[in-house]
Amino acid sequence: MTSTTTATNPPPLTHILETCLYVQDIAASVKFYQETLNIAPFLESPRVTAFSLGTTTLLLFELGQTGEDIHTPSGTIPLHGPTAELLASLRHSHSHSSVEKGEEEEQRQSLRQHFCLAVQSPEQVEQWEKHLRAQGVQVLSRMGWERGGKSVYFEDLDGHVVEIASKGVWPHY
């Protein structure tokens, strides 16, 4: 048997190359991720900012800036992100989320995307939790996994749920 790739036998996938989040205010979100995660962007524009996380790239896209194809001499990046209807709903929700004192705060709409960042050990998760709290970031929850891993969860400025987890969360990590 040969190791050639065919349409019915594609090569194995190795990892997720990019994780993308849509944000209301790209400048504020970039600042949040820089300060909270101690990372610096390698690409910044009004449309997108990119951070390197090992072999993975975290992309922050300004909501509403990815609704058209981008044509380049080498190919086309297809439009992506929330539909116009969802985008309008999100913007409407954010513009009406402030309420009078004493009233119950309206639950704002959010995409609440989730992603997880990896560290090596449960002790490193605890160090991250201390760092997050010192930065004034509200920790949503902690998790101890049956394989010995630990996780800490927090929200970013747009309500996306970020997890930092150690080995021992999944059979493969």
Which residue intervals of the chain are DSSP H helices? 26-37, 84-95, 122-134
User: Which has more confidence, 168 or 82?
Assistant: 168
Distance of alpha carbon 133 from alpha carbon 46, whole angstroms: 30
Rounded mean pLDDT of 40-62?
A: 96
CB–CB of 18/56 below 8 Å? yes
pLDDT digits over 70-127, tens only?
Answer: 999 999 999 999 888 888 887 766 555 444 443 444 456 788 899 999 999 999 999 9
Edge to edge, the sheet with strand 161-165 lists 114-118, 161-165, 150-155, 139-144
Q: Which of 11-15, 50-54, 68-72, 124-128 is predicted with the least confidence, judged by mean pLDDT?
A: 11-15
Query: What CATH superfamily is the domain 112-173?
Result: 2,3-Dihydroxybiphenyl 1,2-Dioxygenase, domain 1 (3.10.180.10)
- 58, burial (CB in 10 Å: exposed 0-12, middle 13-18, buried 19+): buried
Entry pTM: 0.83
Domain range annotation of the chain = 112-173
